[in-house]
Structure 1
Amino acid sequence: MDDLEKLGLEVSKETREDFVNFKVEPLAVVYPKNEDDVIKIVNYARLKGIPIVPWGAGTSLTGAVACQGCILIDMKYMSNIIEINDVDWYVRVQPGVNLEYLNKKLMERNFFLPPDPASFFLCSVGGAVSNSSGGMRGVRYGTFRDWVLALRVVLPTGEAVRIGEPFRKNRAGYDLVHLFTGSEGTLGIITEIWLRITPLPKENLTAIIAFVPDLKSTAGIIQDMRRGGVLPEISEYIDNEVVKALNSALDARLKESEGGLLLLRLQSEDAEAMKEILKKWGADFTVLSREEWERMYSLRAQSALALKAISKEMYVEDIVVPVSKLAEAIERINELEAKYKVKMPVIAHIGDGNLHPNILVRDKEVADVIFEEVGKIAIELGGSVSGEHGIGVQKAGLMGEQLKLHNGLKVLEIMRDIKRLIDPNGIMNPGKYVELAYERARASNP
């Protein structure tokens, strides 16, 4: 890759892995410092016919950054907060900004960016946007897709464009912002991001930890909460295996109970109604102080790291089902555990039906079978195979199955055609996501 160095770019040669050990074996890793550098890299790759894969912080869970023989574009040097606008309520950043650092700076101005993926202390903003990541506050505030206002993107042709506007109401043209948000690096390289921000909440919030009899009871609690019109800021679940992992790996000193625990933070005016629901389902609960809540929030964010510390072989699932189908989904996940005699500790953004069964098994072939069966549970219950982790290569077949069944093959064909239109040379993170989903759905079409 001497030619890249001649263009004035910093280049290295190394192999990497993402969070769940998908291999990244590039021809070269290149470190742009500005948009002009990104354009140089894209033009070089296009002329040479070399695939390009953007890299944020490597917290991908689905093989979205896996590659062999690509140019890996590491965005770590493009990490400036360009502007915090406290009148128009947006922040403008480069993609390499760490999400936790960004929120610290926003909070100094009495603002915050609500989406909080569990990797918030590790991940980059660009990666979170490219993946449309979610998080613990998703039940109330949604995912990154709901907070991106505008983007600057270097297209696979080497052209730089700005899409969207840095304000909320904009009806000019097709919604390209939401096309690129969540596109997993398959349509272009994001170089600047305008994100909507909001003032820190002023309402009085009550935090509750509840030890539940079992996961099915938790489903009943969440369904009753929604029937009662209670909209929490956070409603998270971790089962007892995850609690044990936190105690073992992080010395969390949490109470262990058969059913695991539920973490809730909601408006104080809803607290009494919530307590009655918890009593109905036999949960043992405690109201947390601010300091206790912050500790539990941090532990919940580190749950996947704790599991990974005790089981190096881990397959992280991410499905969404309608909240009305939660109990059925949980029952079917429990049946899979019994059928395959494996542990599948569950972490869940349970308030919006987003379940993360973590398959702990060393036999990859068995794990792949279980992984597919968990995804099919979501499809059959009218849900989605991914709520926030994305598709990459790992879930392309399941995505094809979901869209074919729920929406029809034509919808996948439109997505495939959009990819071809924007990336005519097929260099931008190719062979994944929409392309692979279409191929697999087409191959299985009766």
Structure 2
Amino acid sequence: MQSLKDMGLETSTETREDFVNFKINPSVVVYPRNEKEVVKVVRYAYENRIPIVPWGAGTSLTGAVSCEGCILLDMKHMSNILEINDVDWYVRTQPGVNLEFLNKKLMEKGFFLPPDPASFFLCSVGGAVANSSGGMRGVKYGTFRDWVLSLRVVLPTGEVVQVGEPFRKNRAGYDLVHLFTGSEGTLGVITEIWFRIIPLPKEKMIPIVSFMPDLDSTAGVIQEMRKSGILPEIAEYIDSEVIMALNTQLNAELRESKGGLLMLRVEEHDLEKIKEILGKWHGDVSILNDEEWERLYSLRAQSAIALKAMAKEMYVEDIVVPVSRLMEAVKRLKELERKYQVKMPVIAHIGDGNLHPNILLKDKEIADELFHEVGMIAVELGGSVSGEHGIGVQKAKLMGIQVKRHGGMKVLEIMKGIKDLVDPRGIMNPGKYVELAYNIMKQERNE
């Protein structure tokens, strides 16, 4: 059988780990330089029934790129910005483009792509689309799902399709763009992306920092802001343990506060109302200059890295609850900390109810049970077991429970049917996500 290297493709045999140490042991790593080479690799995998897994930048937090004996398709060489259209307001890129680099180029022309996951300085746009990543501006602008107009995708059979159109209004057929966005590499390999872009905001934005007495009060501030019709650009929270980690690991020199730190960026006309709300919930108010804000924003983006450096074992959770039920979620997280005698420092995109309890453990004995209980908080409060980190292998059971409870087993069956239709030989990032969630729920139903 002809090898991929003999076909003129760049290859290696290195092993890797993702951010939370899920193992990636491919039989070969391939580095395509264009779509034709992607097609060549995928057809080879299809004909020989070999699992194939796309790799962006490896910032996965759920085992979404873990594999054993697969072809790992590293997209780093496909890293060109192909077009910036300042009339139709889109940018067309290859998947290996770094998100921070892309926004720097867009800002030179007066535009930006709003979603900004905390890994924005590391992640590739292809990985962000495949995972429908979110980030710190999600409260106002949503996730990547809200900004993808069109995609070119190499299907598991080696066929190439383009879904969607590079403009906003398009009612021709089913919405396949959002089927592939967030599909975690289980339906195909993204080779080109058309993103919607918008002009940089002209309204003056005011950066505010408030040291809060506790997380309950922070939730109260967010709920009252929403009742008042205030939509911040950013509403982020880090608790006291995270502040300590940033000070210890990154010399952040942040004021340590028992209740944690709330970061807000709001339009100038909302400032007085925000001050009033913060005062009511006993939060102090500091208005930052641009340089101070950029430094704090960068520190916030590195919060998980700082925590990971201090932990023997860390499980990064990602749950979403309705904002109206934030206080209840916080109460239940505190109960779990007491029950298991562990620390779970919270990083949160709190403005949209997205909480990241980071479970710090000395050993793995209780890890799975605790991780499951945190996820069930979201399910039972009408939320989601993932807002942006995805499902991979780590959250497949929780996803199955959520979908079954909120939508019914038929919804999982439809999802599994789509996977089987698009990937008839089951080679594309197999054994994860929808496929695994469906199989777990089916097995439990039959027992």
| TM-score normalised by structure 2 residue count | 0.99
1:96-135 aligned at under 5 Å gives the runs 96-135=96-135
Structure-2 separation of matches of 1:287 and 1:21: 39
Identity across matched positions, percent? 74
User: What amino acid sits opposite 1:64 in the alignment?
Assistant: A
Structure-1 separation of matches of 2:410 and 2:26: 34
Structure-1 separation of matches of 2:46 and 2:166: 31
Match in the other structure for 2:12: 12
User: Over the residues paired in the alignment, what is the CA RMSD in angstroms?
Assistant: 0.9
Cα deviation digits, residues 166-200 of structure 1 (max 9, x gap): 00000000000000000000000000000000000
Cα deviation digits, residues 266-322 of structure 1 (max 9, x gap): 101001001100000111220111111111111111111111111142100000000
Structure-2 separation of matches of 1:178 and 1:314: 31
Structure-1 separation of matches of 2:201 and 2:277: 25
Unaligned segments of structure 1, at least 5 residues: none
User: What amino acid sits opposite 2:145 in the alignment?
Assistant: R
Structure-2 separation of matches of 1:169 and 1:296: 38
Match in the other structure for 1:149: 149
Cα deviation digits, residues 390-443 of structure 1 (max 9, x gap): 000000000000000000000000000000000000000011000000111122
Q: Is 2:130–2:182's contact at 8 Å kept on the other side of the alignment?
A: yes
Q: Is 2:312–2:363's contact at 8 Å kept on the other side of the alignment?
A: no
1:396 aligns with 2:378: no
1:230 aligns with 2:230: yes
Cα deviation digits, residues 321-358 of structure 1 (max 9, x gap): 00000000000001101111111000000000000000
Structure-1 separation of matches of 2:365 and 2:413: 30
Range 365-374 or range 384-393, more displaced: 365-374
Number of residue equivalences: 446
Structure-2 separation of matches of 1:94 and 1:255: 42
Match in the other structure for 2:243: 243
Q: Match of 1:95, SS? A: coil
Match in the other structure for 1:288: 288
Structure-2 separation of matches of 1:32 and 1:260: 45
Range 309-318 or range 85-94, more displaced: 309-318
Q: Return the offset for 1:37.
A: 0.4
Q: Return the offset for 1:80.
A: 0.2
Q: Match of 2:405, SS? A: helix
Match in the other structure for 2:267: 267
Match in the other structure for 1:409: 409
Match in the other structure for 1:380: 380
Q: Return the offset for 1:362.
A: 3.1
Structure-2 separation of matches of 1:343 and 1:68: 33
Structure-2 separation of matches of 1:294 and 1:2: 52
Q: Match of 1:6, SS? A: coil
Q: Match of 2:149, SS? A: strand
Match in the other structure for 2:445: 445
Q: Return the offset for 1:2.
A: 6.5
Q: Match of 2:344, SS? A: coil
Structure-2 separation of matches of 1:377 and 1:365: 21
User: What amino acid sits opposite 1:178 in the alignment?
Assistant: H
Q: Is 2:235–2:262's contact at 8 Å kept on the other side of the alignment?
A: yes
Match in the other structure for 2:78: 78
Deviation above 3 Å: which 4+ runs of structure 1? none
1:62 aligns with 2:62: yes
1:161-310 aligned at under 5 Å gives the runs 161-310=161-310
Match in the other structure for 2:356: 356
Q: Match of 1:190, SS? A: strand
Q: Return the offset for 1:363.
A: 2.1
Q: Match of 1:359, SS? A: strand
Match in the other structure for 2:427: 427
